[in-house]
Amino acid sequence: MNAPLSRLPRLFIISSGFEHLDSAGLSLRQAAAIKDSGPVMFQLREKGLDAARLLSLAARLRAELEPSGSLLLVNERADIALAAGAEGVHLPESCCPVATIRSAFPGLLAGQSVHSVKAARDAGKSGVDYLLFGPVFATPSKERYGPPQGLDELEQVCEAVAVPVYAVGGITPERSYACIERGAWGVAAISPFLDPGSMPSTIETFRSFLPS
């Protein structure tokens, strides 16, 4: 389903990456916690899980996310996304050519992570529905991508592409507004959402800094 781009949710939640380490179904508890929180983008990014377990988790998440109208994106694996009934696939920068994924899986939304203005420009031309750009701010989980890119780079990326851009890396509710000012469509994060108990209020706080 290709939702109108202007209507993609502004808040983009990325799963913990800990599902393979006895996290007792954290992503399912996260999904259950946001039932009444309105739509978000939810990326299932669990590189430690094999495909069989990813599919079964994705299918259960799809059901849990239904009431909030959230969109489920499966990291990298369009096959698992399709089999699970997810709305889309989120591609890493080093992935199959986006155009081939688009034509092979026409029913899926396709987004991509990019880490430079050039990569963003290339991805923007390849037919993605949205981009995730970062790390905008310093963040331990993205240290391998080098120093933070900063708001100026974010602004350049947003100017360079016509698709919605989500800022990622060190995102807090307070920093969200600065990202939007620089042209981001929304913001993405892992760590603010690791406690399902506080998720509804965290999401509400984020929303207060984001356009409706």
Partner 1 sequence: MTLPHRFLCVITDDIHNPVELAQMALAGGARMLQLRRKSASGRELFEWAVRIQELCRAHEALFIVNDRVDIAIAMKADGVHLGQEDLPAAAARAMLGPDAILGVSASNVDEAVKAREDGADYIGLGHIFPTRSKDKPVPPLGTAAIGEVRKAVGLPVVAIGGIDPENVTEVMKAGASGIAVISAVAGAQNPSAAARHLVQRIWQ
Please give the angle made by the CA atoms of 10, 206 and 180, to the nearest 5 degrees.
55
- Residue 71, H or E segment: strand 71-75
Q: Which is nearer to partner 1, 105 or 145 (CB)?
A: 105
Binding partner 1 by CB under 8 A: which of 26, 71, 91, 165?
91
Binding residue (CB under 8 A) for partner 1 from 101, 136, 154, 171: 101
Q: How many angstroms separate the CA atoms of 46 and 67, rounded?
A: 23
Q: Is 138 in the site for partner 1 (CB under 8 A)?
A: no
Exactly one of 11, 34, 57, 78 binds partner 1 (CB under 8 A); that residue is 78
Rounded CA separation 28/87 (Å): 17
Distance CA 40, CA 91 (A): 18
Q: Which is nearer to partner 1, 11 or 14 (CB)?
A: 14
Asked if 95 touches partner 1 (CB under 8 A), the answer is yes
Q: Report DSSP state, residue 25.
A: S
Taking phi first (over 0 means left), then psi (-120 to 50 degrees means alpha), and beta for anything else, what does residue 15 get?
A: beta
Taking the complex as a whole, how short is the minimal distance between the CB of residue 59 and partner 1, in angstroms? 10
Residue 106 near partner 1 by CB under 8 A: no
CB of 95 to partner 1, least distance (A): 4
Q: Which of 2, 20, 21, 53 binds partner 1 (CB under 8 A)?
A: 53
- Residues contacting residue 167 through CB under 8 Å, at least 6 positions apart: 133, 134, 136, 154, 176, 179, 182, 184, 186, 187, 188
Tokens found for residue 116: 């430079």
18 interacts with partner 1 by CB under 8 A: no
Interface map 20-39 toward partner 1 (x if CB under 8 A): --------------------
Quote the least distance from Cβ 19 to partner 1, whole Å.
15
- Chain residues binding partner 1 by CB under 8 A are 50-53, 55, 76-80, 82-83, 89, 91-92, 94-97, 100-101, 104-105
